[in-house]
Amino acid sequence: MTASNAATALPRAGRPGLLLAAGLVVTTLAALAPAGLRGEPVPPRSWVLWLVALAAGVLAFRRAGSTLPQLARRTLWLLPFVLTLALPAALVAPPGRRLLAATALVARALAATLAAAGTAYLLGPLGLVRAARSLGAPALLVSVLEAALVSLAAMVERARAMLRAREARRTSHGAWGLLLREPRATLVGFGRFGGALLLRTLERAEAQERARLARGADLP
């Protein structure tokens, strides 16, 4: 799907405003549930909230058409960010309680992240924009959100195209093996890939902006 199509495709679920509100409530409740950082036991209600948020995220991804292997891969992609954000915070817990605090923090971060990602994936770009409008968000904020989603869709589309072209030129598949054997060269290659991706995305964004202005989008 192209960036323009991603921004104009129909939302994947009805009542986008209700779904977005429910996703925000579940994500917020899961993110704010106590995790025992002060040394107190983790309340049972926190574990219940995290289980509910995890189930909501899984259900959202499944309703959007994700298979179980796809869901597992997306969860694995989220784990490094979750661990990076959650584990350092466990160091402020009292000694002897850090393992429990780390487990609770990882569960909280993963539950909230999965619920938010599932909601966004289920609604899709246009669904998020329509949901924001239906919830009464300011028009300027909705316009910024729409522009950000279009740019993100363009970047994802360009990254996929570049990865397909890169794999077609390679004699082997996957970069993780090379990262272990030649870490410096592999990281340099990732840096060049990121720079090229940024430049091509900016070029695409400028072309879309020129097309928008040519259609008279900013005319009174």
Q: Render pLDDT for 113-161 as a digit per residue (tens, 0 to 9).
A: 999 999 988 988 888 888 888 888 888 888 888 777 777 777 777 777 7
What residues make up the domain containing 114?
1-136
Burial bucket for residue 103 (CB in 10 Å: 0-12, 13-18, 19+): middle
pTM over 0.85? The answer is no
Is 100 found in the same domain as 180?
Answer: no
Is 177 found in the same domain as 128?
Answer: no
Q: Which of 102, 136, 170 is the last residue of a domain?
A: 136
Is 118 found in the same domain as 142?
Answer: no
Q: Render pLDDT for 166-195 as a digit per residue (tens, 0 to 9).
A: 667 665 555 555 555 666 766 666 677 677
Give yes or no for a contact between 86 and 108, defined as CB atoms under 8 angstroms apart. Answer: yes
- Share the mean pLDDT of the chain: 78
Is 115 found in the same domain as 84?
Answer: yes
Q: Which of 136, 160, 177 is the last residue of a domain?
A: 136
Give yes or no for a contact between 6 and 153, defined as CB atoms under 8 angstroms apart. Answer: yes
Neighbours of 76 (CB within 10 A): 9
